[in-house]
Copies of this chain bind each other. A is one copy, B any other.
Amino acid sequence: MITGKNYIGDVISASGGKTYKTFNPELNEENNTVFTEATQEEINNAVSLASQAFKEYRSISGKQKATFLNTIADEILALDNELIETYCSETGLPEGRAKGERGRTVFQLRSFAELVAEGSWVEATIDTAIPTREPLPKSDIRKLSIPLGPVVVFGASNFPLAYSTAGGDTAAALASGCPVIVKSHPMHAGTGELVASAIIKAAEKTNMPKGVFSNLNSSGIEVGQQLVSHPKVKAVGFTGSIRGGRALLDLAAKREEPIPVFAEMGSVNPVIILPKALQNRSESLANTYANSITLGAGQFCTNPGLILGIKSEELTNFTNELASNIVEISPSSMLHPNIVAAYESNKEKALAQSGLIVVGNYEDEVQSNYATQIVTTVEGKTFLENTTLHQEVFGPFSMVVQCESAAQLEKIISQLEGQLTGTVISDENELPEYKPTIDALQNRVGRIIFNGVPTGVEVCPSMVHGGPYPASTDSRFTAVGIDSIKRWVRPFSYQDWPNELLPDELKNENPLQISRSVNGNFTKSNIE
């Protein structure tokens, strides 16, 4: 049952006076539950509890953390229809998407469980002593990754399950040994509370320390600001707009002790279609891209908002084909009236720029909160000169840039802001001719895709979801995949420490049987 209250550790609490409701965009009406925003005192309590819990949780074994994470996954599945129905009522997204995202969330939790149960992720590195070394003896030094401390996770509007309460950031932080305080996303506060209840149940069942997890309601920016400013918070995970992410980054940078903010923000995800591919298959490409642009009403951070080609009859054909394909797709609702409003106003701003031409626009009347898709086109020169056109329009919006030449294409790519992804569509081995463009693209993105679409982010060890600013605030880390655990840890060395007092990961006997680097060689062997 959804109470509308906060979880301060395992205690349900609602001492504040500020309330709000979530909204059903399909029905165009508010949902019933009243949510109470967390007060300053509740925030302080949650952080103090997390800080206290950290003392114990930081050294809990990988196997125990794995049990906790797997139990969270079980408890989320046990929420069954209540979760799916709440999700749909708070997002307007269809049941299939809800179930798919739940599957992804559970998969992520189980992946991190597997990672920490196995244990090699701590990158244990051992250099044994050389007492006879001249001129000075060499000490025994052993390193592993240890958790940073309490982490604040901001729920993402567009992933109420996979990147919110028990999403990738939370799963990675809990796996690393960091307690988590979630600033719940106001648009899906009910979904968030249900998932929070699953985490709290799992924490109780597996005897985790009180305060290892809290869930705070919030309808504005204050709760988040107070959390990020709190001296006992040691890191922040965020998925959302550039404005929001940058504000948190700036706040964290101004603290007496600055802390890392890992924000995954906006991206237009450029797609380059090279001439031979255009010649060979502009129709099927137009079809593929019409679907990718409108997938989930364009509400994916990897949505392809920018398509680039070299001016030609084929590019014009592709653009017209894309336009005629896209207007045939039925619009769907966006997550919230505020998101529809932002889409409309960003679209309007883009369309007001001189030189941007509408090629296809869904013009039939639609239900309230539905997004109408649009395809536009612009000359390369105009695009180069007007950076307003480089900005993301979050929603089913796409722009085809007609470059005068390969050189202009390269120049445009090299001047783009940082992006999550870049895609290259190419046939008949024409890629090597465009090496400078591809090199420039690599320097601007976190992932490049060959002959595919950027939407669809695989959860696997080789995935990079992040990229140069403003795609993310720290391109040195990924937000998706098991390596995202590295955001929440730091390396730590023991020098000449007694073997029996070392953590198991570093003991001579290698009791966990993990892979370690010992004197420069990877091995699972013990140390004689």
Residues of A within 8 A of B (CB): 55, 58-59, 125-127, 136, 138-139, 141-143, 146, 148-149, 249-250, 253, 257-258, 260, 418, 431-432, 439, 442-443, 446-452, 456, 458, 460-464, 466, 468-470, 473-478, 483, 486-487, 489-498, 501, 515, 517, 520, 522
Contact A492 B464 (CB under 8 A): yes
22 pairs across A/B with beta carbons < 8 Å? A58-B443, A125-B462, A126-B462, A127-B462, A141-B447, A141-B458, A143-B463, A143-B464, A149-B443, A249-B253, A249-B258, A260-B474, A431-B498, A446-B493, A447-B492, A448-B494, A449-B495, A450-B496, A450-B498, A461-B520, A475-B490, A483-B491
Contact A501 B464 (CB under 8 A): no
Interface pairs A-B: 5 shortest CB-CB: A253-B253, A447-B493, A464-B493, A143-B462, A141-B462
Which of B464, B473, B474, B501 meets A431, CB within 8 Å? B501
B493 touches A462 (CB 8 A): yes
Report the separation of the CA atoms of residues A462 and B460 in the bound assembly, to the nearest whole angstrom: 27
Q: Smallest CB–CB gap between A485 and chain B, Å?
A: 12
Q: Which of B452, B461, B475 contacts A517 (CB 8 A)?
A: B461
**How far apart are the CA atoms of A450 and B474 in the complex, in Å?**
35
CB pair A127 B451 closer than 8 Å: no
Q: Which residue of B lies closest to A146 (CB)?
A: B442
Shortest distance between the CB of A407 and any CB in chain B (Å):
15
Q: A461 near B501 (CB under 8 angstroms)? A: no
Residues of B within 8 A of A498 (CB): 431, 450
Task: Give the chain B neighbours of A250 by CB distance below 8 A.
Answer: 253
In the complex, are the beta carbons of B139 and A473 less than 8 A apart?
no
Most chain B beta carbons < 10 A, residue from A149, A418, A478: A478
A443 — which chain B residues lie within 8 A by C-beta? 58, 149
Q: How far is it, in angstroms, between the C-alpha of A146 and the C-alpha of B249 when the chains are bound?
A: 24
Closest to A431 in B: B501
Please state if A496 and B126 are interface contacts (CB–CB under 8 Å): no
Instruction: Please give the distance in Å from A374's CB to the nearest CB on chain B.
Output: 27
A473 neighbours in B (Cβ, 8 Å): 258
Give the residue among A127, A258, A456, A517 with the most B Cβ atoms within 10 A. A258
**A447–B495 CB distance below 8 A:** yes
Q: How far is the CB of A404 from chain B (nearest CB, A)?
A: 22
Across the interface, which residues of B come within 8 angstroms of A495, CB to CB?
A: 447-450, 452
| Contact yes or no, A475 B148, CB < 8 A | yes
| A489–B418 alpha-carbon span in the complex (Å) | 15
Instruction: Point out the residues of chain B lying under 8 angstroms from A432, CB to CB.
Output: 501
Residue of A149, A451, A460 most packed against chain B (CB within 10 A): A460
Q: Is the CB of A463 within 8 A of B501?
A: no
A333 to chain B, nearest CB (A): 23
A421's closest neighbor in chain B, by CB? B495
- Chain B residues with CB below 8 A from A520, complex form: 461
In the complex, besides A449-B496, A451-B496, 7 extra interface pairs with C-beta distance below 8 angstroms are A125-B462, A141-B460, A253-B258, A462-B493, A475-B490, A477-B491, A515-B522
- What residues on B are CB-neighbors of A475 within 8 Å? 148, 490
Bound CA span A60–B138, Å: 35
Contact of A490 among B59, B461, B476 (CB under 8 A): B476
Q: B493 contacts A448, CB within 8 Å?
A: yes
CA distance A502 to B475 in the complex (A): 21
Let me know if B148 and A493 touch, CB within 8 A.
no
> Which residues of chain B come closer than 8 Å to A449, judged between CB atoms?
139, 495-496
Report whether B450 and A492 are in contact in the complex, using a CB–CB cutoff of 8 Å. no
Chain B residue with Cβ nearest A234: B468
The distance in angstroms between the C-alpha atoms of A522 and B451, with both chains bound, is 29
Query: Which residues does chain B contribute within 8 Å of A418, judged by CB atoms?
Result: 257
Measured between beta carbons, the chain B residues less than 8 angstroms from A501 are 431-432
Q: Which of the residues B138, B474, B517 comes within 8 Å of A458, measured between beta carbons?
A: B138
Please name all residues of chain B whose beta carbon is closer than 8 Å to the beta carbon of A139 when the two chains form the complex: 449, 452, 458
Q: A148-B475, A448-B497 are in contact. Are A461 and B258 (CB under 8 A)?
A: no
* A102 smallest CB distance to B (angstroms): 14
Interchain CA distance A443-B470 in the complex, whole Å = 32
A257 to B468, CA, bound (A): 9
User: What is the CB-to-nearest-CB distance from A473 to chain B, in angstroms, rounded to a whole number?
Assistant: 7
Q: Which of A141, A142, A452, A497 has the most CB of B within 10 A?
A: A141
What residues on B are CB-neighbors of A517 within 8 Å? 461
Bound complex: CA of A468 vs CA of B146, how far in Å? 12
A497's nearest neighbour on chain B, judged by CB, is B450
**Min distance, Cβ A284 to any Cβ of chain B, angstroms:** 16
| Cα distance, A27 to B179, chains bound together (Å) | 57
Cβ of A348 to closest chain B Cβ, rounded Å: 25
Q: How far apart sit A104 and B253, CA to CA, in the bound complex (Å)?
A: 34
Cβ of B458 and Cβ of A127 under 8 Å apart?
Answer: yes
